Structure 1
Amino acid sequence: MSPIGMPPTGLPPSAAPGHTFRSVAPVLALCWLAVFFDGVDVSIYGAVMPHMLDDPGFGLTPAVAGTIGSWVTLGMLIGALGTGTLTDWVGRRPVLVAGVLVFSAGSAVCAVAGSPGLFGAGRFLAGLGLGGLMPICLSMVMEFAPRGRAALATGLLMTSYHAGAMCATVLGLTLAPAQGWRWVFWVGALPAFVAAPLLLRLLPESPGVLLAKGRTAEAAAVADRYGMAPPVLADAPAQGAKGRLASVLALFRPGVRLATPLLWLASFCGLLLVYGVSTWLPQMMRASGYGLTSSVSFLLIINAGGIAGLLIAGRLGDRYGPVRVSALWFLLTAAGALLLGARLPLGATYVVVAVTGVWLFSAQVMVYAATHRVYPPAERATGLGWVTGIGRTGAVVGPWLGGVLAATANSQLGFTVFALAGLLGALAIGSVPLARRLGRPSATAPVPEAAGMER
């Protein structure tokens, strides 16, 4: 039997001749589109929240706004935890399409909601669909990416999230003042009519999933079409109920059992930062004395910085290792958060917001790239699902905590909280290589996919 991750030819997965970014561009483009709408939907709330708080007929308060912000991330937590195993059983494409339809329906509910309660239910429904979208797209892109370029592929994919967030901010600056905040949520329902049909028609199924289902010829055909090495059974996810349980238990086998909780903690910190900032940055800056237009525009600037940061971090992650890059980016994020808490001139604040965006968002994305190196191919979808799922608890805490601070007139304290989260995230992800070494069953036992993790 060939070693795990090595096909009979001796070529590692994703190392087939001609396997370049050009050959996998269709998969990357389709996943980019899906995550773009994810970014739109997640960031819509933060972009229109000042207008919702100023709407006297709706009755939204800062405390309730923070709680609702956590509802969407709670839904995402549930969706992410279930998707990692569900997608190995049902398939990547049908679960991804279903997620797009669900979060589009949730956005439509928000558009027609007459009370904060119904609006919160719509955000929770949107979260259920959004939760599974990210781990599926990450898993697909990593599987189809050329060998040694997973970090760059992940960075390229995640630029779409920030492009979507920027789009949501523009809608908050233009459509919400002119037509009302409800029309912005109607835009969030468009993916059901745009993205879902394209994904259903054009996105290929994972060769590993096809092989696990016994569709060997179809798996080989997909791999050949996209320039990949033929899939091998060792790389395919286990099937059946026992297989689902085994894939979860494998996250705690020797070699990764100590690294797994550290990845979860790093993801918690990263997503607390991402969703806390995305939800509350405009309101926090407004509380610091900036005008409404400037406060919302900071969200546009920080996401522009996020796009640049992902491209930089992706290249550096492939060269120096995603662990090193993620740890450094977390530390720089902590420094940026502390600077944002100072009352600087407007021009200087724009610069600080932009460079903080360079570090903040890609710190979390490099956690995903590190996860790709920790787990072997058969366990990656489950591993990513749990890293993103457990991390969603941070996405729940961030918006909720921002609401608590806003309700008690302590919004500026949020910058200190974000800085502490950055420091904790750096410690967690930076400890993964040591945890890998300590978790080995013996000093000489090899650990699958260990190459590069010490970086």
Structure 2
Amino acid sequence: MYAVLALCWLLVFFDGLDVTVYGAVMPYMLDDTAFGLDAAAAGRIGSWTTFGMLIGALAAGTITDWIGRRTVLVWCVLLFSAGSGVCALAGDPLPFGAGRFLAGLGLGGLMPICLTVVAEFAPPRRMALATGVLMTAYHAGGMAATGLGLALAPDHGWRWPFAAGVLPAIIAVPLLLRHLPESPGVLYARGRFEQARLTAERYGLPAPSAADAPAAGASGRLRAVRDLVAPGRALATLLLWAASFCGLLLVYGISTWLPQLMRSAGYGLSTSVALLMVINAGGIVGMPVAGRVADRFGAVRVATCWFLLTAAGLALLATGPSLALTYAVVAFTGIWLFSASTMVYAVAGRFYPAADRAAGLGWVTGVGRLGAVVSPMLGGALVARGLGSGGFLVFALGGVLGAVTVLLVPVVAAARTRTDAGRAAGGEPGDAAGAGREPNSRAETTSPGRTR
């Protein structure tokens, strides 16, 4: 388990570095008059990145059961490393935007697969904690990106931090090919039963069975997607998508535009960029804390509270507090902001059964990327209109909506279960948890108690 978590942690570290580097160097790019980038174009390019991430997440979550976790991860790393190289060499905003879109394809596919791999190899009672530990890597990467921006961009130009984004292809790909095990469920689905058994035995996992194996072939991938919106599961899936949308609206909006929002509010350039490092430091602290608390009290409760605390922190920033208080509020907001989004994934990991987990997480993160697509344009519009600190109130509303949607997931699941129980007691057909299907059907939902 620990070796798998370490490999995935490294990948997500590079993910966080590549995503955050754009926000970290954006002030320097906007000041580079020869490059010709303005705030509106910067917002559009940020949205191209996240649109690529949306496509990458949906595609990877759908095909990973087909071609394997490790193969998809290798291609994701190669894609976002190539995109960073294109950005470093771009002569104007158009090829730069193409490079960010290419990087987005790889970045979008990487995250849901890493979440799926960690969920498959983690002990069930430590799934939320393992997810939280994994996501500390994202913020460690974000801090590294900010450090690169501060160290390189002022004296050497904004291109060098993007050039560093080529390193994952050199460092991570050989490690993946040599050390990352394939999912026992995927191996079982391919008919490699003995290898699946040995892999499960090596990592202390239950022996895989047909119920844990994703259905093979293109028809199996389509069935997995249909199962996400099957009767008894559709409304909860839509709520998870909405919660992920709100979470990623906040994550990518703040990660991309925090320095510029702080500059618009009257803070200096160095202070504004440094605050991006502070909020990511808060994310590193908050992830394992949220994971441990969620394993005890339930990921739904933690995600709901953390979304509301994020909204409160952003609303406080809109009041223009003193510099010392600003640093404290940004740090605590980082603790809640990034953990809230991550706990949505923990809720989804518990809600979907093993055979549907990769597709479920892929679509939760993929549809959630619509929030990431909207947020850079939203931030660009707020800065262009000179709203300054008042823009934080707009993002605070996303925190409130995130809290409401994630809180409703177990509510609608429990209501459906009670309805089905009543029908079964009255002898009515149509039990959404398995009427007309075998007991371990792929469409069978996880019990509501598991989505606490």
TM exceeding 0.5: yes
Match of 1:430 among 404, 407, 413: 407
* TM-score, reference length from structure 2: 0.94
Give the equivalent residue in structure 1 for 2:91: 114
Contact 1:323 1:453 in 2 (8 A): no
Q: Which runs of 5+ in 1 are unaligned?
A: 1-23
Residue of structure 1 equivalent to 2:174: 197
Code of the residue aligned with 1:254 in structure 2: it is P
Q: Write the mapping of 1:277-316 to structure 2, written as runs, cut at 5 A.
A: 277-316=254-293
Equivalent position of 1:125 in the other structure: 102
Number of residue pairs matched? 432
Query: Which of 76, 81, 86 is the aligned partner of 2:58?
Result: 81
Please list, as runs of the form range in 1=range in 2, the aligned pairs for 1:23-422 lying within 5 A after superposition.
24-422=1-399
Which structure carries more helix by proportion? 2
Q: 1:294 & 1:137 partners in 2: Cα distance? A: 33
Residues 351, 448 of structure 2: 8 Å contact kept: no
Give the TM-score of the pair, scaled to structure 1: 0.93
What letter corresponds to residue 57 of structure 1 in structure 2?
A
2:299–2:451 CA contact under 8 A, matched in 1: no
1:451 CA drift (Å): 5.3
Q: Secondary structure at the match of 1:231?
A: coil
Measured in 2, the distance between the counterparts of 1:454 and 1:123 equals 35
CA contact (8 A) 1:256 1:374 kept: no
Corresponding residue to 1:442 among 412, 420, 441: 420
Deviation at 1:454, TM superposition (A): 5.6
For residues 263 and 146 of structure 1, what CA distance do their matches in structure 2 show? 23
8 A Cα contact 1:373 1:452, kept in partner: no
SS of residue paired to 1:194: helix
SS at match of 2:420: coil
Q: In the alignment, residue 377 of structure 2 is paired with which amino acid?
A: W
Asked if the contact 1:151/1:314 (under 8 Å) is kept, the reply is yes
Supply the distance in 2 between the matched residues of 1:121 and 1:448 (Cα, whole angstroms).
40
Is contact 1:212-1:237 (8 Å) kept? Answer: yes
Letter in 1 for 2:446: E
Alignment check: 8 A CA contact 2:347 2:451 kept: no
Provide the rounded CA distance (Å) in 2 between the counterparts of 1:398 and 1:414.
12
Q: Which moved more, 1:413-422 or 1:109-118?
A: 413-422
Q: Distance in 2 between matches of 1:390 and 1:314?
A: 23
Letter of the aligned partner of 2:152 in structure 1?
Answer: L
Once the two structures are TM-superposed, the CA of residue 52 in structure 1 deviates from its matched residue by 0.3
Deviation sequence 1:391-447 (CA, Å, 0-9, x none): 000000011110111112123332011110000000000000111123346125666
Does the CA-based 8 Å contact 2:413-2:448 persist in structure 1? no
Q: Distance in 1 between matches of 2:232 and 2:136?
A: 32
For residue 409 of structure 1, give the secondary structure of its aligned residue in structure 2: coil
> Do the aligned residues in 2 keep the contact of 1:108 with 1:186 (CA within 8 Å)?
yes
SS at match of 1:357: helix
Structure 1 residue aligned with 2:439: none
Once structures 1 and 2 are overlaid, which stretch shifts more, 99-108 or 342-351?
Answer: 342-351
Amino acid at match of 1:331: L
Contact 1:336 1:352 in 2 (8 A): yes
> Aligned to 1:271, what secondary structure does the other structure show?
helix
3-state SS of paired residue (1:214): coil
The alignment yields a C-alpha RMSD, in angstroms, of 1.1
Q: Say if 1:82 and 1:108 are closer, same or farther in 2 by CA, change over 3 A.
A: same
Deviations 1:358-389 (A, max 9, x none): 00000000000000111110000000000000
Distance 1:188 1:127 in 2: 13
How big is the shift at 1:255? 2.8
Contact 2:242–2:405, Cα closer than 8 Å, also in 1: yes
Measured in 1, the distance between the counterparts of 2:170 and 2:194 equals 32
Per-residue displacement from partner, 1:147-191 (whole Å, max 9, x unpaired)?
A: 211000000000000000000000111111121100010011110
Name the structure 2 match of 1:12.
Answer: none
Q: 3-state DSSP class of the match of 2:388? A: coil
Distance 2:409 2:315 in 1: 26
| SS in structure 1 at match of 2:248 | helix
CA distance in 1, matches of 2:227, 2:124: 23
Aligned partners of 1:99 and 1:133 also within 8 Å: yes
Deviations 1:316-360 (A, max 9, x none): 111011000000000000000101112111111000000000000
Amino acid paired to 1:279 = T
Query: CA shift at 1:281, angstroms?
Result: 0.1
Percent identity between the two aligned chains: 63
Match of 1:4 in 2: none
Is the deviation greater in 433-442 or in 280-289?
433-442
In structure 2, how many angstroms separate the alpha carbons of the residues matched to 1:314 and 1:178? Answer: 40
C-alpha distance after superposition, 1:287-306 (max 9, x if no partner): 11111010000000000001
How far did 1:254 drift?
A: 3.0
Range moving further from structure 2, 127-136 or 398-407: 398-407
The residue matched to 2:181 in structure 1 has which SS?
coil
